[in-house]
Amino acid sequence: QVQLVESGGGSVQAGGSLRLSCTASTYTSSIYCMAWFRQSPGKEREGVATIRNTGRTTYADSVKGRFTVSKDNAKNTLYLQMSSLKVEDTAMYYCAADPGICPLNPGSPQVAYNYWGQGAQVTVSS
């Protein structure tokens, strides 16, 4: 079992920046895949970014160039650095982890990924 605890959510103005953190109960260096998903009311949960234990990353086209996913294995923490935020980035952001898969958009994210954080609300105002 892996517990994931998120922090860093909040409200920012469009164009601003925010950094989300996700601290794991185990060594992040041993986790095959960690990822960020987001979900806004009326929409499906969508992949934002993934990072494998090799360091390979993937990003949704909508955030590429604005968001950066990274890990600090010494702190067992996953990060999502968000810049140039847009109103449409407003959502609940969830971190996830899995020992064997790393798709950005699986058919059912909550089923596909084994472990999930509690969510962090990000609200971007104009």
Distance CA 86, CA 75 (A): 29
CB 93 within 8 A of CB 122: yes
- pLDDT tens digits for range 4-49: 999 999 999 999 999 999 999 999 999 999 999 999 999 999 999 9
Is the C-alpha dihedral spanning 21, 46, 102, 51 positive or negative?
Answer: negative
Which residue, among 110, 101, 37, 106, has the nearest Cα to 69 in the 3D structure? 37
Average pLDDT taken over every residue of the chain: 97
| Per-residue pLDDT at 1 | 87
3-class state of residue 1 by DSSP: coil
- pLDDT tens digits for range 56-110: 999 999 999 999 999 999 999 999 999 999 999 999 999 999 999 999 999 999 9
Q: What percent of the chain has pLDDT over 70?
A: 100
Query: Which DSSP letter does residue 29 get?
Result: G
- Measured in whole angstroms, the distance separating CA 116 from the mean position of its chain's CA atoms is 10
Largest distance between two CA atoms of the chain: 40
Distance CA 31, CA 53 (A): 6
| Per-residue pLDDT at 115 | 98
